[in-house]
Amino acid sequence: MRISVIGCGYVGLVTGACLAEAGHEVMCTDIDAARIAQLNAGGVPIYEEHLDAVLVSAKKAGRISYTSDAAEAIRFGDAIFICVGTPPREDGSADLSAIDHVAQQIAAAAQNSKLIVEKSTVPARTGQELNRALEAYSRGGSKRFAVVSNPEFLREGTAVFDFFHPDRIVVGVDDETAATAMRSIYEPILERKFRCPIHQNGCPAEPKAEFLVTTINSAELIKHASNSFLALKISYANVIADLCEKLDGNVEQVTHAMGLDPRIGTQFLKAGLGFGGFCFPKDIQAFIQLASSVGVNFEILKAAECVNKERIERFLEKVKRALWVVKGKKLAVLGLAFKANTDDIRFSPAIEVIRRLVGEGAQVHTTDPEAMEKAKKILPGVVFHADPYEAVRDTHAALVCTEWSVFKNLDWERAGKLMARKLVVDGRNLYSPKKMADLGFEYFSFGRG
């Protein structure tokens, strides 16, 4: 099938690349002409594991192209995937102006009927409004637009793997024809009818993904409900960590035992600096606003948001207690991205930690495997290092903010010899307190005594 993708950010570019690799003809467009020029030149504007290899493979096969002309992309595709941003407004609700702008572009440029796939994360009832907008902007023409909600469940850092190995594919539709079209789009992935580029020796055996057909409103709710529940689990683990610190417990022992219960599970029960990134914070705010708009009290989600916002403060309290005086101290911050295996610094706890430390007069040195170029644009006065050992040289403390494997595997015996003071404040609970103590470090983490 010929597919157009509008928006070449983290979701759009992964979606376009993977659909092309699965055998479809894909044309991607973006409002950022420089981004399109970079893609046409063979560059990759974001870091996502395996994405560069998939883009190269799809381009070599002649199945992916890029244009800055949205009208050209709209005319190209039988199906149009909308992957534009829906950032939070001041009240927390989703800004859907980009979706509305795309609707105007589609109505103006489309020359025949199209399948319109809502991939961006949007609140319930957006599909209804999108359908109404397409009809209004078309001014009663003969073109028919079938709107589908197809929420993404891609984790940054493993998005390509997640696309090729989904646990479920959700499509919200108004009629069976649209559901059939969506099944045909995903058939190569559902039936394993292509060679997954991640596994050179074949994909691991696993259950097939469930293809779930729902109403459009239900599909939109599923995305927000899923992300909000995961955020709840993270905040719950962090409250347990705070209890453990007060009652001499160990949060890892508690959450491990909890997770062995199949009704609970181990994932997302990890204490630390809390969640960041563009999805969880904005999705929680949007879900709270949506519930409020229809008279539903979502206090439990408000509490989870509040707990998460407090994590940075608690981390900084640990830093201040350990250092006594922050002003004038030279500090190393290990990690800038909101999580490992991505270059995304949006709503990253590390960025806020650095800003607060700089504001209190600390000299901050930092390192990250992929996110430094983006961080340099928003962190003036901070010193960046490609080598983590250079980042910790002559520092009074190392603050761990992102769980990159390079930091997990750091040789702290070597690092300690370079530091002015052997002090580590671990915001991700990466290391064994006993091992760090044996190496002569003052070591602070969350909920482990």
Catalytic residues: 279
Long-range contacts of 409-413 (CB under 8 A, 24+ apart): 410/334, 412/436, 412/439, 412/441, 413/439
Please state, in angstroms and rounded to a whole number, the distance separating the CA atoms of residues 276 and 261.
27
Give the residue from 27, 127, 16, 23 showing the smallest Cα distance to 74: 27
List the structure tokens of 285.
């705010």
125: left (phi over 0), alpha (psi -120 to 50) or beta: left
List the structure tokens of 429.
């609970």
For β-strands 397-400 and 383-384, DSSP reports them as: unpaired
Torsional sign, CA 219, 222, 83, 63: negative
425, β-bridge pairs: 399, 444
Q: Determine how many CB atoms are found less than 10 A away from the CB of residue 91.
A: 9
Please state, in angstroms and rounded to a whole number, the distance separating the CA atoms of residues 147 and 366.
45
Please state, in angstroms and rounded to a whole number, the distance separating the CA atoms of residues 430 and 408.
6
Please state, in angstroms and rounded to a whole number, the distance separating the CA atoms of residues 332 and 442.
15
Please state, in angstroms and rounded to a whole number, the distance separating the CA atoms of residues 36 and 355.
32
3, β-bridge pairs: 26, 79
CA 377 to chain centre: 20
172, β-bridge pairs: 149, 214
User: Tell me, what amino acid is at 154?
Assistant: L
- Half-sphere exposure for 347 (CA within 13 Å, toward CB): 15
Please state, in angstroms and rounded to a whole number, the distance separating the CA atoms of residues 168 and 364.
43
The single-letter DSSP state of residue 348 is -
Please state, in angstroms and rounded to a whole number, the distance separating the CA atoms of residues 398 and 3.
47
Instruction: Return the exposure string of 145-155: e unless at least 16 CB atoms fall within 10 Å of the residue's CB, then b.
Output: bbbbbbbbbbe
